Structure 1
């Protein structure tokens, strides 16, 4: 996935470009564009997580089709954890940069949030790979339930990364 911050800047319309000419609006416009890129990225992360959940459902179906019912509850619990983390990622704050906000979130913090979301993206790619490998093992009948442990570790890593968002925004509050 490319850097969406550049895409948002390149897609500025006439009004947004005009705002850049006014000293009071310039910083606001830059921060809002960064925030928009982060919001779009979080939306894409959420969609990717939903795809992972669907892949895990396919793995469950493959197991039951092969008459294997071992660890179905564990797979369901893993799926629930993924859904919970996906929801947290989707709804976590992006940081408001308004003209006179109660807590000032500057360009550096908004960029740090975007960089954090890119790390989360990398974690989601790893999770997706492990879930697909698990699906393939379910389809082939050569079950590798150790992949479930790797998937659970991926989920924990994603949750920890997402939880660090508040430290970036508010300094650990």
Structure 2
């Protein structure tokens, strides 16, 4: 009977080059890979919504659904910008503070949640279920910010 993959093994299968935060100097690299994977999925979601939006605009330019789609695209772009512009992997702070094994496990679990949520958004967009986006976008934002806090010493987490 095959055993279930650990979160690190799942991420290694999903993200070529991901090493699981094993070495101090690789934390920023793995952090970048995870964030890039989430951003790629969010950008794919935007492309899918935009294609559907174009079709609706060509057939019914005054459809109220267009406004909803534009609002969602705007929220997704805002989240992409937050993910891209946040400091990567604790940056300079990590040099003065050691991330524990337990915290790395939490970071990996957050990584899996982020990729899972971003993948769900792609599927919802493909299936034209945009009414289900809002809670997932909020969950993704919350998981991302909780994850970023784990790269900092406990006294700096707020």
Per the shorter chain, which TM-score range? 0.7 to 0.9
1:66 aligns with 2:74: no
C-alpha distance 102-82 of structure 1, shift in aligned 2 (>3 A): same
TM-score, with length taken from structure 1: 0.68
* Count of residues in correspondence between the two structures: 142
- Which residue is 1:140 aligned to? none
2:116 to 95, 119, 122: 122
Give 5+ residue unaligned stretches, structure 1.
Answer: 10-28, 135-146
Counterpart contact for 2:27–2:89, Cα < 8 Å: no
Counterpart contact for 1:49–1:124, Cα < 8 Å: yes
- Which residue is 1:95 aligned to? 90
Greater gyration radius: 1
- Which residue is 2:32 aligned to? 39
Q: Return the offset for 1:130.
A: 0.8
TM-score, with length taken from structure 2: 0.73
What RMSD in Å do the two structures reach over aligned CA positions?
2.9
Counterpart contact for 1:42–1:90, Cα < 8 Å: yes
CA distance in 1, matches of 2:31, 2:117: 16
1:151 aligns with 2:151: no
Give 5+ residue unaligned stretches, structure 2.
Answer: 1-8
- Which residue is 1:139 aligned to? none
C-alpha distance 114-38 of structure 1, shift in aligned 2 (>3 A): farther
